[in-house]
């Protein structure tokens, strides 16, 4: 699509949105775009191959989802007690390790060693959305101001250390989280770097890669080993996740302050204290998870999940195990 056609699509979608939706949707849209409505509608247009009507429906559905699930106030709802939140951080491995040389936030995800077994699905989904919202409302506006240009995406480094066939047991929660992202936070990741790849990932990637849309395939880079040398081309050593600074485990670090998955890491400390502070201001601190509705999965994404599950079962049969006791 040419630049003129893209510009016309953006203008058409913005006009539809601002002229034909109700005030509550316009208000939550402000929380989404953070002063950059054009960049926001471009993300939704990209997610729907620049089809204006489909992008409009997707965006309106997302805004309604935000209102129905009170997403605008999710940063006022800390997960308490703090020991429960610590358990979530130890089993849902994600964190901000730093920034690229262009100022893009770098998020690390410990795919292989995340177990999601210390709390209910609702807590893990709440925690995931809080990180998304903190990224979009606090981190990205901060780097946008610092660099003097809109920065609205992030880089994700996925560590596959420890990935086993037993990850099949986590497919439900992973599907819920990815569906929330695909339908409500589209095109927020500029590039995915996948590191410490075991045999099981390589086998699955071979069958999944052809099913992905071209724009998604182009974003995914599978690196050799811990990926350190490649990643140092786009970020400084200090921004590398701990598992890329040296070969080894993504979960354990000699210093929890350096381990971006840990609650003791500055990113998680700042985010948790921010949410606590917002709750105190609103007098909202109370125990219990936030129940967020998970949107229906896109049929194409559902097909990919089916293929992954089938490949896991096939590998399990070949190795005589579904618990990961196989060659990696």
Q: Which of 252, 240, 167, 171 is nearest to 201 (CA)?
A: 167
pLDDT, residue 197, reads 95
pTM here is 0.90
Extract the residue ranges of the chain whose pLDDT is less than 70: 1, 247-255, 284-289, 320-328
The CA distance from 128 to 118, in Å, is 15
Q: Are 167 and 312 in contact (CB under 8 A)?
A: yes
pLDDT, residue 285, reads 58
Q: Residues near 194 by Cβ (< 8 Å), separated by ≥ 6? A: 157, 158, 160, 201, 220, 221, 222, 223
Q: Are 243 and 250 in contact (CB under 8 A)?
A: yes
**Long-range Cβ contacts of 212-220 (<8 Å, 24+ apart):** 212/304, 213/300, 215/46, 219/189, 219/190, 219/191, 219/192, 220/191, 220/192, 220/194
DSSP helix, strand, coil percent of the chain (3-state; round to 5): 55, 10, 35
The CA distance from 188 to 178, in Å, is 12
Query: Would you state the structure tokens that stand for residue 164, as one six-digit string?
Result: 């086993």
Answer positive or negative: Cα dihedral of 202, 203, 208, 214.
positive
* 3-state SS class at 18: helix
DSSP 100: B
Q: Which of 8, 78, 108, 6 is nearest to 49 (CA)?
A: 6
What is the CB neighbour count within 10 angstroms for residue 196?
25
Phi, psi (deg, nearest 5) at residue 194: -110, 125
The CA distance from 125 to 69, in Å, is 12
pLDDT, residue 320, reads 65
pLDDT, residue 325, reads 46
The CA distance from 200 to 316, in Å, is 10
pLDDT, residue 322, reads 46
pLDDT tens-digit series, residues 151-189: 999 999 999 999 988 777 888 899 999 999 999 999 999
- As a whole number of Å, the CA-based R_g of the chain is 20
């Amino acid at each position: 699509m040419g630049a003129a056609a893209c510009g016309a699509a953006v203008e058409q979608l913005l006009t539809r949105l601002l002229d034909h939706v109700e005030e509550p949707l316009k208000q939550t849209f402000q929380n989404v775009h953070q002063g950059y409505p054009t960049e926001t509608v471009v993300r939704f247009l990209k997610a729907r191959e620049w089809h204006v009507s489909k992008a409009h429906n997707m965006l309106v559905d997302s805004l309604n989802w935000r209102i129905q699930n009170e997403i605008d106030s999710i940063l006022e709802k800390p997960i308490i007690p703090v020991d429960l939140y610590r358990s979530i951080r130890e089993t849902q491995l994600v964190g901000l390790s730093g920034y690229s040389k262009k100022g893009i936030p770098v998020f690390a995800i410990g795919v292989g060693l995340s177990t999601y077994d210390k709390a209910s699905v609702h807590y893990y989904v709440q925690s995931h959305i809080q990180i998304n919202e903190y990224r979009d409302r606090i981190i990205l506006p901060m780097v946008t101001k610092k660099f003097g240009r809109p920065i609205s995406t992030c880089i994700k480094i996925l560590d596959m250390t420890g990935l086993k066939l037993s990850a099949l047991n986590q497919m439900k929660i992973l599907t819920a989280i990815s569906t929330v992202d695909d339908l409500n936070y589209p095109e927020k990741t500029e590039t995915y770097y996948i590191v410490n790849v075991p045999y099981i990932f390589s086998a699955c990637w071979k069958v999944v890669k052809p099913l992905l849309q071209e724009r998604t395939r182009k974003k995914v880079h599978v690196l050799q080993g811990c990926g350190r040398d490649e990643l140092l081309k786009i970020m400084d050593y200090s921004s590398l996740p701990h598992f890329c600074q040296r070969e080894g485990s993504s979960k354990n670090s000699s210093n929890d302050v350096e381990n971006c998955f840990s609650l003791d890491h500055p990113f998680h400390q700042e985010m948790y204290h921010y949410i606590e502070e917002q709750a105190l201001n609103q007098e909202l601190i109370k125990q219990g998870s936030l129940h967020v509705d998970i949107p229906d999965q896109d049929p194409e994404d559902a097909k990919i999940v089916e293929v992954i599950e089938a490949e896991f079962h096939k590998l399990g049969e070949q190795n005589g195990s579904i618990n990961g006791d196989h060659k990696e």
